[in-house]
Structure 1
Amino acid sequence: MTNGQWLRQAAAAAWLDLRIALLQFTRFPVPAGEMPPPGRARRGAWAWPVAGLLAGTAGALAYWLAGILGLPPILAALLAVAAMVLATGALHEDGLADFADGIGGGRDRENRLRIMRDSRLGSYGALALVLATLWRIAALAALPPALAIPAILALAAAARWSSALLAHALPPANPDGQSAAAGRPGLPALAAGLVACLLPALLLPGALPVLPLLAALAAAAVTGLLVRRAIGGQTGDALGTAAQGCEILGYGLILSQLP
């Protein structure tokens, strides 16, 4: 195989991974193309933070435009979070709500899984969704404008890496669910995803670049402990919860380091 052929094959494989991640995690218009082979997420999870970064770019643009228009920080933050919700189709927010309903309202493993599969929104889910969204808006509004856009980009990427960490660490709770069909990411994919997280994190000044990564690790660990005890493994809702938890914790950590 020549170098040119190898490069073309590598580029085609990378585009397939990124296209799958964009189809899974965003609502951006992406060509359908060929169907991915079973278990492709095991190799392609490196692209999850890249898809998150692109969704975060939508939020960063909304925040920047709000600043150009002279809107106050609270409205800029609201527009940024709304843009990211639209870019992802509220995928992770929906996962957090279902997760909260299942963990909060379920009596046993089977009951919790049944509630998570139910598309209806319960009290625990509604409260979790409202509190998480308010936290993200308020925390983003409290950041200095010079830090807001780097924080949006860094945490949007790290949040999806947190999901990949959880998918690697725990087996699927449903052997016939979507999470099981996707496969568990391997260490090479996690390492490549870490690189994808580091690039936007380096936009933050001083020692702050490490905080999005710490938030991703902590969110994956806490969510993992909860689901392992409650349902014995991870689900798509748990992966969404880890992503939301990473953003919530990450904004809080960054704010705690400001003078």
Structure 2
Amino acid sequence: MSASSIFIGCAGWSLPREYWPTFPEQGTHLQRYAAHLNGVEINSSFYRPHKPQTYARWAESVPDGFRFCVKLPKSISHERRLRDCEQELDAFLEQCAGLGDRLGCLLLQLPPSLAFDEAVAEVFFVELRQRYSGAVVLEPRHESWAAAEMLLMAYRIAQAVVDPSRISTDAAPRGWPSVRYWRLHGSPRIYYSPYDSVYLERLAGDLRVAAIDGVDTWCIFDNTASGAAIGNALELRRILAHG
């Protein structure tokens, strides 16, 4: 399985100085990043809106096979807590539509305090699916979401594999099986620790299995605080490229 069929990247496209020699000297940070990695997670959308023109500029900066995952705003997940979000959804989806066919999926990360309420979740998923038919990935952080499997299947929502694990269902892909998404925050020190080669070799095997199954496969490194994410993403790409 070719690594080009698997989207590997980081949460954001910052390039730590130690890795500058690996990337082209010319271009924006995103253009340089996209020379070696084929996916990225936009986390800044969680904190603030971006204009459609900004998303369009980003889309124009990357090769054809590059894809973006865009994180839903905290106004939806953390402030409104999935309730009465129609206006926020409309605004967000209008903005990130600027990515065009470079939009690979949406990420919904829930606060640890948000328990699973089937009625609330279903209303939100209906509203989302009325507006957007593409891939959606959920990262719940309250144990009660273990009961959400049937609802996730019904509305074609994938549940991310997360490390370090927060809840009992983090360790393997769940929900809608047509997209599989690994979100790796760094372990044992979250956001800082790099993953070693043994872990990355095992991870590469899991990604190959997912890709061979013909599903959209993502691996995003969020251990960005000390720059480990870029190194891990590049090593994982090398492992995949060499079989």
Q: TM-score, normalised by structure 1?
A: 0.26
- Relative to the length of structure 2, the TM-score reads 0.27
Higher relative contact order (CA 8 A, sep 6+): 1
